[in-house]
Amino acid sequence: MDATTRAVQNAQAIANAVRSVIASANASRPKNTRKNYDAKAIERTGWCTERQFMDDSLVNEGKLLLFTTEVVERGGIGRSLMVLCSSYQGRAWRAT
């Protein structure tokens, strides 16, 4: 197996593991927390869809910073979403 193929397989395995851990964390959240976060997450996932990221709406440091500068700092979404982004960043880092 060449290095490129191995790198792609490793990246896919990492992305799958991150998605699995995040899905598990989401499933174990209290109902009210999930309700509050889900409404705000729609804005973030919509932005990810518009940007057409190859890894969909999976959060990483670079996307979080780009989202913050493009949307949050320009007043497109309120302060509550900044809190949401912080929580997603923490989960993504713990998952990776």
Query: What's at 74, amino acid-wise?
Result: R
Distance CA 2, CA 37 (A): 42
DSSP string over the chain: --HHHHHHHHHHHHHHHHHHHHHHHHHTS-HHHHHHHHHHHHHHHHHHHHHT-TTTT---HHHHHHHIIIIITTTSS-HHHHHHHHHHHHHHHHH-
Return the higher-pLDDT residue of 88 and 62: 62
The mean per-residue pLDDT over the stretch 46-60 comes to 82
Residue 80: predicted pLDDT? 47
Question: Quick check: 47 pLDDT over 60?
Answer: yes
Question: Quick check: 76 pLDDT over 80?
Answer: no
Mean pLDDT over the full length of the chain: 77
The mean per-residue pLDDT over the stretch 51-71 comes to 82
In terms of residues, how long is the chain?
96
